[in-house]
Amino acid sequence: QQQVKQSPQSLIVQKGGISIINCAYENTAFDYFPWYQQFPGKGPALLIAIRPDVSEKKEGRFTISFNKSAKQFSLHIMDSQPGDSATYFCAASIKNQGGKLIFGQGTELSVKP
Amino acid sequence: GAVVSQHPSRVICKSGTSVKIECRSLDFQATTMFWYRQFPKQSLMLMATSNEGSKATYEQGVEKDKFLINHASLTLSTLTVTSAHPEDSSFYICSARGTSGRARGQYFGPGTRLTVT
């Protein structure tokens, strides 16, 4: 019940296209859903995050769509660029558990020029 | 803002020796810091949660006597890998949780690559 399932495992997108990564969860107590971007040999960087009281959040080319009833959330990267090539992790946490994050399995995104 | 540093970035040690990794929150106070381990092409595995001034909470399967964690202040946590063996070779990443202002959220350090020979 603590799992966060992420798909696809890898994704290839042409430059300018839309990259979509999906995550699903079971535990309805999760109340914070961040996305992290990680480049090889680096730590993850917080990209964007959402709480379950909104259905969508947009920051620049990055959008989170959140479907509370389906217990799913997704990351959309508009106008994907080669510099977006990285591994993306979704995560979830429960406020009263001290911020402990449960990570998805990760998606390796490659944007072709 | 919300910068977390780790030192060293890379370390090579001989089997049987101990290695200490530092994690610092540079511009915010972190009452909670987390330590993760990541194998190539895999997700982050939480090893332990450390709270300033108290004992760390270890995840199931993580040996607390092997991975010693000390959270000495609101800006510093250390992970010591004791009696390291080749199977301990991994990428160790810390994160710090800010709870106010621009540092609200969890921010990760750049990671430490440990190689045990």
Give chain B positions within 8 Å (CB) of A36.
108
What whole-number percentage of chain B has pLDDT above 70? 94
* A98–B51 CB contact, under 8 Å: yes
pLDDT, mean over chain A: 94
Residue B102 banded pLDDT, cuts 50, 70, 90: low
In the prediction, which pLDDT does B2 show? 83
Q: How far apart are CA A90 and CA A55, in angstroms?
A: 16
Region A45-60: mean pLDDT is 93
* A49–B43 CB contact, under 8 Å: no
In the prediction, which pLDDT does A92 show? 94
For residue A13, how far is the Cα from the chain centroid?
16
Q: How far apart are CA B93 and CA B89, in angstroms?
A: 13
Place of tokens 């977006």: A84
Q: Which residues in chain A (49-78) have CB-CB distances under 8 A to chain B?
A: 49
Q: How much of chain B is helix, strand and coil, in % rounded to 5?
A: 5, 55, 40
Q: Beta partners for B10?
A: B113
Angle at B58 between CA B56 and CA B64, to 5 degrees: 85
Residue A95 has pLDDT above 70, yes or no: yes
In the prediction, which pLDDT does A40 show? 93
Q: How far apart are CA A105 and CA B97, in angstroms?
A: 22
Residue B100 banded pLDDT, cuts 50, 70, 90: low
Region B7-11: mean pLDDT is 97
In the prediction, which pLDDT does A1 show? 63
A&B contacts, CB < 8 Å: 52
Give tens-digit pLDDT for B37-79.
Answer: 999 989 999 999 998 888 899 999 999 999 999 988 889 999 9
In the prediction, which pLDDT does B105 show? 76
